[in-house]
Structure 1
């Protein structure tokens, strides 16, 4: 785990060197985002459990010569929901893979500037992803698009994935605000 990362909420070397509190510059916003992402990860767990139940039921019923029509579709929808809904919580826990081999060798000011830029780019990317997924869901809803096997509406699943992307966007917003606070603090100290 890089020096700036901590899952305990304690001050890390990067937040300490920037003079930031352990929870970042906006603790109430951080707490709200954590609550939202905890709810989303709870729903992801439900989707994962439902996916497991459908898969096991399909396997057991096949032993008796009974097939569940659309089980692959349902498992696909549930796996997309489980993955997407957990994204924000994983980001908050720093569970995504990060390559910091070069960044760790930079000075504090340049490292902080790179962190700020990367946070901004990730925030913009996933804000756009959330927006376009929501728009795509509206399009599917308006056209009445149905799945191939079950002939079920698919737009609710697109909205679920959009909600997961929105949860990640909120976590990235908190990261960006933290990186901006760190960068500004370093600039003030070195000015």
Structure 2
């Protein structure tokens, strides 16, 4: 569903059809036209077989005289088709890489959120214990403030990790072709 992959696919199809058109130039080109000859005063058609024969011979032998040009055009078309195929393959690889990177970022953020949650829980417990020690022993208020500061830093880190997880989900959505 990605526009860049779709565009590369259409360019590959265009190159494929151009190669087939270059191959078709090697074969005689016979066309049927509405002109068979002249008409006389009575409305009857006068056929000029010589002109008709010259046109037929010309269209049948034209590929023989243009063989060098046709071979060059076919080589060019084949190389353009190969280039389009490589570009299509590269766009698929880039799309896969972007999806993989977004999934990896999401999984990393998800596991980091779990680690941060345990860290915040542990630091909350440390703050409670430090406050209890301050009330019942000789711990200073500075130690309580240090524990609260560590808890606050862990909570900020937890919020940043949640933000990164949301960003990775958005990147995954875009990498899969959504919103484009």
Name the TM tier (shorter chain). 0.3 to 0.5
Structure with more of its chain in helix, by fraction: 2
Which structure is larger by alpha-carbon Rg, 1 or 2?
Answer: 2
Q: TM-score, normalised by structure 1?
A: 0.38
